[in-house]
Amino acid sequence: MQIKTILAGSVLIAASAAGVQADTSAARIALSNNYAGNSWRQAMLTSWETVTGPAVAAGIVAAAPAFTTAENQATEQAAQIQNMILEGYDAIVVNAASPTALNGAVKEACDAGIIVVSFDGIVTEPCAWRIEVDFHEMGRMQVEYLAGRLPEGGNLLEIRGLAGVSVDDGISGGIHAGVEQFPQFTIVGSVHGDWAQDVAQRAVAGILPSLPEIVGVVTQGGDGYGAAQAFAAAGRDMPIIVMGNRQDELAWWAAQRDATGYETMSVSIAPGVSTLAFWVAQQILDGREVPRDLVVPFLEVSQDSLDADLANTPAGGVANVEYSQEDAIAAIEAAAGG
C-alpha cells in the first residue's frame, strides 16, 4: 500500500519504545478541535477515540476527552481552552482555528503549567509544541505534478480550504509558489471549498460560467469529488483534478480511470496525526525532552497504488494512518537528532 510505504520510509516507524517511563496514569489530556464539518475532521476525531480509549483503559492516562466548538471561530475556541484551564487538564492538544488568535489562551495554559501541543492547524505561541506537515510543499508539488502531465501549461482553478486557518494559507502559498516555478500555468479562479465536497461543488459551480478552459484543479483535500461533479454538471471538459485522499474521491477516480483512462494523483495529511499529538503530549508529561517542532510526512496516493489504497479506505472515510507511542518516540528522537 502506497500510504504505508511512504510512512515506512519516514522516521516514524520501527522505533524503540524505551522512554522515561514516569507515571502519567493520573494525567488528563483534552483535545480542543475547532471544526468537524467534513470527513477528514470526522476521521481525525474517530482516530483520537480509537487510540486514546485503549490508552485510558490501560491506565496510561486517566482521561482523554475531545471537544469541538460549534462554529469555526477563534474566540469560541479560546474560551474553550480557558475552560480547560479552569478544569485542570494536564495537557491540551489543539487543532487551531487560527495560528495567532489563540496565542493568548495558549499562553494562559502554559502559565498554568499545562502542556499545549498543536497539530494540523498549529499555533505560533512559543510555549506550545507544533506537529506540522510541510503544507507549502504539499501545494507546490501539485503544480509540479501538473507540469509533468501538461508541459504546455494552461489555466488552473484553485480550491482553498477554511479561510484564516494556517493549513489553508500554507497549501495556497505553496500552490502559488508552484505557479511561479512553472509559469506556463495561470490561476484564473479561486474559491473556498472549506475542505468539504458539498461546499466545493457549490463554489465551483458558481464560478465556472465565468472561467475559460481549465486544464487542472489544485486543491486542499475534501474538494476534488465536488469539483468533478460541478464540471460534469456544467458539461465542461474534465480537467486533471488533484484529489485529497477521501474515499469518494478515490472511488470516482478509479471509476473514471476504468472508463476513460483518467489519471491524477491524491495527497493529504493523515487524520490520525491527532493520535501522534496525543502521544507527544503524553511523552512530555512523562518527562521526555521534546523539540518544539516536529514534522510528519503527508500521504500520497498514486495511479499505481490507487486500487490498494481505495480498498483500505472505508466508505465515507479518508486514507489514514494512526500512530502509536513508539511512533511518537521515534519522531521525537529524530527531531532531537536533527
Do 141 and 262 reside in the same domain of the chain? Answer: yes
Burial of 87 (0-12, 13-18, 19+ CB in 10 A): exposed
Structural domain total, the chain? 2
Q: Are 296 and 133 in contact (CB under 8 A)?
A: yes
Do 208 and 102 reside in the same domain of the chain? Answer: no
Do 68 and 172 reside in the same domain of the chain? Answer: no
Do 107 and 192 reside in the same domain of the chain? Answer: no
Do 139 and 129 reside in the same domain of the chain? Answer: no
DSSP code string of 25-92: TT-BEEEEES---SHHHHHHHHHHHHHHHHHHHTTSSSB--EEE-SSS-HHHHHHHHHHHHHTT-SEE
pLDDT at 4: 33
Asked if the structure places residue 3 within a domain, the reply is: no
Q: What is the CATH number of the domain that holds 29?
A: 3.40.50.2300
Q: What is the mean pLDDT of residues 157-161?
A: 97
Label residue 166 by pLDDT band (50, 70, 90): confident
Instruction: Provide the β-strand partners of residue 26.
Output: none
Q: Which domain holds residue 175?
A: 135-268
Q: pLDDT for 110-142, tens place per residue? A: 999 999 999 999 999 999 999 988 999 999 999
Burial of 113 (0-12, 13-18, 19+ CB in 10 A): exposed
pTM of the model: 0.84
Q: pLDDT for 245-280, tens place per residue? A: 999 999 999 999 999 999 999 999 999 999 999 999
pLDDT at 22: 64
What cell was used for 292?
A: 518544539
Do 220 and 290 reside in the same domain of the chain? Answer: no
- Does the pLDDT of residue 2 top 70, yes or no? no
Do 75 and 26 reside in the same domain of the chain? Answer: yes
pLDDT at 37: 86
Do 215 and 276 reside in the same domain of the chain? Answer: no
Q: pLDDT for 202-258, tens place per residue? A: 999 999 999 999 999 999 998 999 999 999 999 999 999 999 999 999 999 999 999
